[in-house]
Chains A and B, each alone.
Chain A
Amino acid sequence: MEMTNQKKYWKENLKYLAILLTIWFMVSFGFGILLVEEMNTIKIGGFKLGFWFAQQGSIYVFVILIFVYILLMNKLDKKFNLDK
């Protein structure tokens, strides 16, 4: 495989990582910790939102993030013919 292709693939991968890890950081460290008081002023059912993100929401988002990454990378592997 050509060097340039390899670089393109890696760059694309790093872009996905940057986006997904930003979301990862936002839902846990952001909503669940740093902004928890602000989020707690919003209430959904019996849950204060900040508390919910810290004990429930962040975990659901984590699961979704990994499966999105799997889909994105499977596509990318195919595009660059690296899926063997």
Chain B
Amino acid sequence: MDIQTWTWILVGITFTLYIGIAIWSRAGSTKEFYVAGGGVSPLANGLATAADWMSAASFISMAGIISFSGYDGSVYLMGWTGGYVLLALLLAPYLRKFGKFTVPDFIGDRYYSNVARSVAVFCALIVSFTYVAGQMRGVGLVFSRFLQVDINTGVIMGMIIVLFYAVLGGMKGITYTQVAQYCVLIFAFMVPAIFISIQMTGDLIPQLGFGGADQNGVFLLDKLDNLHKELGFAAYTTGTKSKLDVFLITAALMCGTAGLPHVIVRFFTVKKVSDARKSAGWALLFIAILYTTAPAIAVFSRINMIETVTDKKREEMPEWFSNWETTGLIKFDDKNKDGKIQYLADASKNELIVDRDIMVLANPEIANLPNWVIALVAAGALAAALSTAAGLLLVISASVSHDLIKKMIKPSISEKGELVAARLSAVVAVCVAGYFGINPPDFVAATVALAFGLAAASFFPAIILGIFSKRMNKEGAIAGMIAGILLMIFYMTKFKFDWFGGGTEADWWFGISPEGFGTVAMFANFIISTLVSRCTPPPPREVVEIVENIRIPSGAGDATH
């Protein structure tokens, strides 16, 4: 059977599965809609968190980014996993004990202020929307490449599926579909990786394979460093970014991960405080399987690609080369007219431009794997994009129906009314996300990475201080959050979109990239919060009691309003 038939079959089966689960687990109350009823087992929650967390970017782009940047790509590997240690140790157990539905809920109650709550809602919406648009785009991309449909039709098909199970099932439906989606995506990621590892090194385990040697006994990493040197690239295992920047980007990604509302909210769905810790452990374990495999794929595909194309004739290229050329993700320009491909670091002589996203998508084709494996990758990429999109949509709808409507605009709203509002806001959110997926504004690609900086600069300090400092008051937290997010937005718009006079890399403050600046803005938040809180009255007695109470695990009731 050809690739396209296989893809339709696999995508069809998995989509039917997701819809079936959604119908079986549809939500009947706001509690089921926001936190899946609060009775999810730690193992299931860990699986769901892993699927929620691993987006189209993790599945499709990350291995490719590492493949093209070598050691510099480590920031994503450490940043997007190390954040779970912070989550498990510093946030999840206490937020679960606090027992509310959303992150703005915590900020609003802990800082006894609707201003703090509004700032938190605003931050949650910005972070989630920039993120979700990227997911819808990913869905469209996979559809267009593997099923030969128009990219916009692909986005709309993705919207309908998400709409169906997010709106019907709420958090409950999403949780159990995410469990299924994790299984699909990890299987799809691992099968080609194992195949290629065996092909290239004879090692069954990719994590060991990329430290192994090829048939001639040369270590793959040494071979790659040498290939890079010959072609003029920086050595794969050392990288080019400054140490300060690598440090700050890693820190921003870690703290941003721990501050992302759609990740935090997953820990409200378990029964007990100890279950919240356990789910963080399971989640990281499941994430680590993909994250430790990605750098191996990066090395395999980099070597494979360089060896396949370098100094070979264009007409001798395998079929995948033209397939991807038609999508525009591979561009070949025979500058010296010798009919051969020269892939070089020097931009004036380089004749081949390869989009990093195809490293995972085209990997099975490059390695000549069977058609069903190639189709499997498509199904896996869709699972990754849809699961993350659904999680984000839920945060958006809860922010609107719970934090805005129920807590601020119309507290008298009935349970049924709130549930209707939640579903309606989910519908609106899907449509907005779909619109951005079809007409992606330029800022989407740039801001997805920056969403972490925004989360680190706004939520992370406010939550940490809210748990670990009894003295922190509303004045401090509000001042810190506003200062942190404004500073981050300023730096990001200045250097990414040329506002405020713009500037180039040379103008970066102390050579810090916008991606790494989240850490600086976060420290500014910490310092300003602390200073302001010392000059203003301490929080009232009942708030101090809340803090004392969340530090003890026992007696965690169900998540409530």
Contact = CB atoms under 8 A, between A and B. Distances in A.
Do A and B associate with each other?
Answer: yes
B203 to A, nearest CB: 11
Contact of B237 (A28, A40, A58, A82): A40
Contact of A66 (B77, B246, B280): B280
B477 to A, nearest CB: 21
- Which size class do A's interface residues fall under? 35 or more
Given A47-B211, A55-B295, A70-B277, A65 B85 contact: yes
Contact of A20 (B71, B89, B284, B552): B89
B82 A66 contact: no
B313 interface: no
Nearest to B93: A73
A55 B297 CA distance: 12
Interface in B222-256: 222, 237-238, 243, 246-247, 250-251
Contacts of A24: 82, 85
A82 B274 CA distance: 10
Interface string B187-225: 000000000000000000001001111000001111000
Contacts of A67: 281
Contact of B553 (A17, A21, A55, A77): A77
A32 B74 contact: yes
A66 B212 contact: no
Given A9-B552, A33-B250, A60 B88 contact: no
Nearest to A54: B74
Contacts of A59: 77-78, 81, 288, 291-292
Contact of B78 (A58, A65, A74, A77): A58
B262 interface: no
A24 B81 CA distance: 11
Given A6-B552, A34-B247, A63-B284, A28 B78 contact: yes
A77 B129 CA distance: 39
Contacts of B78: 28, 32, 54, 58-59
Contacts of B73: 55
Interface in B344-397: none
Contacts of B219: 45-46
A83 B554 contact: yes
Interface in B129-160: none
A55 B77 CA distance: 6
B71 A51 contact: yes
B89 A17 contact: yes
B436 interface: no
A69 B285 CA distance: 14
Interface string A17-38: 1001100100011001110100
Interface in B60-107: 66, 71, 73-74, 77-78, 81-82, 84-85, 88-90, 93
A73 B278 CA distance: 11
A54 B73 CA distance: 9
B442 to A, nearest CB: 31
Contacts of A47: 211, 221
B551 interface: yes
B90 A17 contact: yes
A6 B74 CA distance: 40
A71 to B, nearest CB: 10
A83 B250 CA distance: 35
B52 to A, nearest CB: 17
Nearest to B74: A54
Contacts of B292: 55-56, 59-60
A34 B74 CA distance: 13
B277 A46 contact: no
A1 B555 CA distance: 12
Contacts of A46: 210-213, 219-222
Interface of A: 1, 6, 9-10, 13, 17, 20-21, 24, 28-29, 32-34, 36, 40, 44-48, 51-52, 54-56, 58-60, 62-63, 65-67, 69-70, 73-74, 77, 81-84
**Pairs of residues from A and B, 8 with the lowest C-beta to C-beta distance, nearest first:** A46-B219, A54-B74, A82-B554, A46-B211, A55-B295, A66-B281, A47-B211, A51-B237
7 contacts: A9-B552, A55-B73, A56-B295, A59-B78, A62-B284, A65-B89, A84-B555
